[in-house]
Amino acid sequence: MDMILVDEKENLMHVAIRKHLVSRFKHCVIEGLVYNLRIVKIAVNTLKYRPLDNNQKLLFLPTTEIVQLDEGVVSIP
């Protein structure tokens, strides 16, 4: 599963969740909400598929923690 996340400084990051972890995380992240992510891995994207110009991607791990913050909903253009 692939996503694009936006941080507090409006930087974009390609996120990949490996097949065996999709069922664990697919209901934890909802578009437009604000989250705190812990225990993730930043990796070099060596694949031809790059939804963004940069060559890094964030990988969810089995130990990744996701906490929804009470900052409300972010508008998505």
pLDDT of residue 43: 92
Q: Is 22 helix (H, G, I), strand (E, B) or coil?
A: helix
Residue ranges of alpha helices (H) inside the chain are 19-25
pLDDT of residue 30: 85
pLDDT of residue 63: 96
List of domains in the chain: 2-69 (2.40.50.140)
pLDDT exceeds 80 at position 72: no
Mean pLDDT of 21-42: 90
Determine the Cα–Cα distance for residues 53 and 45; give it in Å rounded to an integer: 10
Round the CA-based radius of gyration of the chain to a whole number and report it: 12
pLDDT of residue 58: 93
Residue-wise pLDDT for 42-55, tens only, equals 999 887 878 888 88
